Amino acid sequence: MIIDCHGHYTTEPKGLLDYRKRQTAAYDEGRALAPDFKVRDDEIRESIEKNQLRIQRERGVDLTLFSPRAGGMAHHVGNEITSRDWTRACNDMIHRVCTLFPDNFIGVCQLPQSPGVDPASCIPELVRCVEELGFVGCNLNPDPSDGYWTGPPLTDRSWYPLYEKIVELDVPAMVHVSTSCNPNFHHTGAHYINGDTTAFMQLIQADLFKDFPSLRFIIPHGGGAVPYHWGRYRGLAQDMGRPPLSELLKNVFFDTCVYHKPGIELLVEVIPVENVLFASEIVGAVKGVDPETGFNYDDTKRYIEAVETLSGAAREMIYSGNALKVYPRLARRLR
């Protein structure tokens, strides 16, 4: 079985996107606008069948853990209520996809974060998605300011009430930034990768997992710069008197959204196979076909297949075994 742990609904029906435009216009006029739009099942079916489902089938992927468009979370927009309404709309849309295609998609939720707002405000939506909608994980934005990093690090105690609920529900969090309003940071080319690198270094500096031994984070995009600079991170941890990185790897996992074979080779050489989860982030940051290979850049399964040093058992762990451990609610659903 092949599980892609990182897919986004980037082909949303027009009704959802129109609602967002009307919602932000209303906010600018000082009003909130709760979700009021209609999308037909056949619109959803078409948006999925022509895109994510087609690609799943072409590449031989069985199941995608599916969440709202990451760049669309845009937590900096509006206020707490704006974020709550928008998040609910996006998560409901994911739920409809998962209901229409129960064999192919399982939900992962967006959280209604908002800059300067207590992360505990996300708890009701998290509980709703996991307990009522059957979602198996959440995406956690380490920078709700979307490119200015004005909030505290992920290890700050202000996040703790949210982590307590995440642990209680036994769902992992993928640490995933959203769009960038900062002209210095291209969103998928800089902000995403920087967010991954930044989060990992924050985890080195603090004792978050002493306080939450069963909290699990997935760092997407192959862990940002971390595996490439594994020696730097090992050395920094050592110089700072922090525990060896193997300790962090009890709680931190990397996905395989690295879009060329040498990168995937490095990832699986440096990071223990137990900590690597298959993913491709379709339909995502890079959509084109690599003229050097004739295949899509984001067809990460091909790179994993081509790594000669991986045993069949190791590939099986990357493709599904690790995901079933990191997402226990997924394992229960599949049984």
Contacts to a copy of itself by CB under 8 A: 142-143, 147-149, 151-153, 182-186, 188-190, 193-194, 197-198, 201-202, 204-205, 221-222, 224-225, 227-236, 238-239, 258-260, 262-263, 265-266, 269-270, 285-288, 290, 297-298
Sheet (strand 105-109) strand order: 3-9, 63-68, 105-109, 137-140, 173-175, 217-219, 252-255, 276-277
Dihedrals phi, psi of 3, to nearest 5 degrees: -110, 120
Q: Which is nearer to a copy of itself, 104 or 179 (CB)?
A: 179
* Distances, alpha carbon 4 to alpha carbons 8, 152, 321, in Å: 11, 31, 12
Q: Is 281 a catalytic residue?
A: yes
Q: How far is the CB of 274 from a copy of itself (least distance, A)?
A: 18
Q: Which tokens hold the place of 65?
A: 């853990």
Q: Which is nearer to a copy of itself, 102 or 235 (CB)?
A: 235
Q: Which is nearer to a copy of itself, 63 or 73 (CB)?
A: 73
Q: Which tokens hold the place of 45?
A: 């079916």
Q: How far is the CB of 189 from a copy of itself (least distance, A)?
A: 4
Q: Which is nearer to a copy of itself, 101 or 233 (CB)?
A: 233
CA distance 5 to 312: 19
Catalytic: which of 12, 125, 265, 281?
281
Q: How far is the CB of 103 from a copy of itself (least distance, A)?
A: 30
Q: How far is the CB of 84 from a copy of itself (least distance, A)?
A: 24
In the DSSP assignment, the letter for residue 13 is -
Q: For strand 137-140 and strand 63-68, is the pairing parallel, antiparallel, or unpaired?
A: unpaired
Q: Which tokens hold the place of 212?
A: 């939450």
Residues belonging to the active site:
281
